[in-house]
Structures are given as C-alpha cells and as structure tokens.
Structure 1
Amino acid sequence: MKVVGVGCGPGMLTAEAASAIAGASIIYGSARAIALAHDAIPPGCEVHEIADYRSLRSLPSHAVVLSTGDPMLAGLGYLPGEVVPGISSLQVAFARLKIPLTKVAVVSAHGKDHARAVAEAREEVIAGRVVFLIADPTFSVGAFAAALPPETRLAVCEDLGYAAERITVGTATEPPAPRGDLFVVVAGAF
C-alpha cells in the first residue's frame, strides 16, 4: 500500500505524489483528499471514499490511500506501506507567517482531549517554542488564549491553500476567532 499526501489545498500536490496517484488502479481517500488529487487520478482507476477508517489496514497491497496535507502530520502515515509526503498545513502556515520550522512544537487537539492539548501547548509556549496546534471544529481558541501568558501572539490560519485562505493574528488578550471549521492555530513569540 502507498499512503500519499495530497497537500493541504489545491495546487499543492507534489510531482512524486502525482506520479504515485497516476500509477494507481485503486484509490481510497476522504472526499476532500479525492478532490485535491482529482486531476492526477488516471481514467479507469477505482476510487472509493473512505467510510470506515478502522478498515484501512486491510486494504489490498496495491491500494493507494490519499491523506490530506502530509500523512505524517496527524494523517494516515500510521498505515503500513510506503509514505509519500505532502505539503502540510504546518509548512504553509509557517511560510505565510515567516516563522522558521526549527522553532515549532506540534500539538494535536483534533478529535482529542482539548484540555490536555491546551495544557501541552501552554507548556511549549512557556518553554519558548512556537506551537502549531491542529484544531478541530469544536476547539475553542478563546479557551486556549485564556490559558496562555497575555503577551503570547496567536494566529488563526484558515483554509490554507484555498482561495478563501485567511490568516488573522492577535494576542492571548485579544485572540483571533475562526470563521469556519478548517483551521489551525499558531501560538508563541513570532
């Protein structure tokens, strides 16, 4: 099996990923991942929207599984087989904000205990790192901001790579608020 990162937005499919997809006879992915890879999917390829993520380990060995962003950043890189990296939301957010990747601490709150993620992120900010927090639609940026030192800068990065991309910067005392469901949060001294 190949797990292929399709990038976090349109036009972010790497040549290696496009080649892996072009050689596929059977593909599995979320609706968003399939849409991002659409132009690289060969005619006659069998394409399936993932209905049950628990069953992915039992796919045939020749299957290509599409993962949004990069499979190793809260993606499907845990699956067996080769991983083809993709352009992640972390790379795009830090490039847009001009923050060196050497300063990053990644914290995932996506589908996880938000209180635990906030506590972990707070410790990383206090230690001087810039936190890249992977959020989900129910994550409260306001509650996160309230846990941080008041001078901490925060950026809400929404729809990265899409035409509606939006990055709003504030502080822990005046945090930006997301408008939609597809967002990440960057926090620290940047």
Structure 2
Amino acid sequence: MDYKIIIVGIGPGAPEYIVPIAKQQIDNAKVLVGSKRALETLAAPDITSKIITGDIPSVISFIQAQLYKQDVVVMVSGDPGYYSLLAALRRSFPLKKLQVIPGISSMQLAFARLALPWQAARLLSLHGRKPDKQSLCFTEGAILGILTDTIYTSKTIAELLLRHNWPRTTKVYLCARLSYENEEIIETTLENAVQTKEFSHCIMVVTA
C-alpha cells in the first residue's frame, strides 16, 4: 500500500488550539512522532512512537522503517509550514508521500492577541538562526514578528534593532507562553526592553 507521512500542526501548546482534523489523525494513529511533551500529552500509552530530538537522521530512519507497513503521523508545534520538521521531510521523502495538516502558529496567535493584522508584517526567526541585517533595518510603518531563543532574546534583539536605527520609543509586545494558563503579554518600548524582564522564548512584535 502507498503509506503516507501525515504532518500535523498541533498549535502553540494548549490542546484546545489543535484543529479537529489534526486531533482526529493523532487519535487514529498507529505510529506517532513528536516532541517529548507532545507525546506525553497526546499519545496513547501503547502506541509506537519516536521522540524528535536534535538527531534528525535517526527520526528520518525511524519514519522510513515504519512507512513500509503503515502511515506515520508526525506532530510539529504550531504550523508545519513555519520552521518545522517539514523541510527535512521534504528533503528525505517524495512529495507524494507527504500530507500536511496546518495548525495555528504561535506567531499567528501573537498577532491575534494584539488584534493586529499581519499580512504586511516582516516575519523573522532568530530561533537558532543569525539575523539578516537587511531584515532588521528600520522603515517607516514596518511591523516585525520575531521568534526568539536563548541567544537572541527580547533584550539582545531590542539592542540589535536600536543599532539598526529603530527609534527608542518604538512600541514592542513581548508574547510569552501563548495559549497556556501562565500566558504573559507585555507592552513596552525598545528602550525599556533592553532594561526590563528578558524573555528567551517568546514572540516579539515590533511596530514602527
């Protein structure tokens, strides 16, 4: 049979943000691949599973072995099309083997929380990536949506933007732990973001 890899977006974190068709695929899966937290939260106790770690080749090998006998459901946080394992799967398998079910990304949820349209926003990921100078340059009316990490935090990104001529009074929203009970959204300025509470994993929305 022509078995498939079904890549499902499981949203920003809280289970209620998983779209119904994705939840249906997870519930019916015989093989699940995902983060440790996702498997602990969503996988049945006796299911065949594989934790996604930094060793991506071992994850690919596991999927290849299972794909000979059944479909494999791969859970990725947020939306599969936005910085997920999907890129590696496209490099390793024929496109006809892949079925993608979209999800709600943390970036999407951040803009929703702010009631801010994002069709014109400049979306950047500094999560495990180095910044591109051109994408950081100030332009009047620009909106940035930025994924942060432990190196490029809310503080270091604010410092970067100030060095790229963004006004010190530029409004900034720090959106942390979105969808969870301890969700936190802080409105501040670039100047204050350098001096106040630092976030290492959040969505940073900057509005010129």
Same fold (TM over 0.5): yes
The 2-side partners of 1:166 and 1:21 are apart by 29
Aligned counterpart, 1:98: 115
Q: What is the CA–CA distance in structure 2 between the aligned matches of 1:30 and 1:17, rounded to whole Å? A: 16
SS at 2:21's partner residue? Answer: helix
Residue 165 of structure 1: aligned partner: 183
What SS does the corresponding residue of 1:174 show, helix, strand or coil? helix
Paired position in structure 2 for 1:64: 73
Q: Which runs of 5+ in 2 are unaligned?
A: 91-97
* Corresponding residue number in structure 2 for 1:55: 58
- The answer on whether the counterparts of 1:156 and 1:178 sit within 8 Å (CA) in structure 2 is no
The count of residues paired between Structure 1 and Structure 2 equals: 182
* Partner amino acid, structure 1, of 2:157: F
Asked if the contact 1:158/1:178 (under 8 Å) is kept, the reply is no
What residue is the counterpart of 2:93 in the other structure? Answer: none
State the 1:167 CA deviation: 0.6
Distance 1:132 1:25, change over 3 A: same
2:188 match: secondary structure: strand
3-state SS, counterpart of residue 168 of structure 1: strand
How far, CA to CA, are the matches of 1:144 and 1:184 in structure 2? 11
Structure showing greater Rg: 2
CA contact (8 A) 1:24 1:42 kept: no
The equivalent of 2:127 in structure 1 is 110
Question: Which ranges of structure 1 fall in alignment gaps of 5 or more residues?
Answer: none
Give me the whole-angstrom Cα distance separating, in 2, the residues matched to 1:50 and 1:140: 24
Corresponding residue to 1:33 among 18, 38, 60: 38
Give the deviation of 1:112 after TM superposition.
1.3
RMSD: 2.1
Report the CA distance between 1:134 and its aligned residue. Answer: 0.9
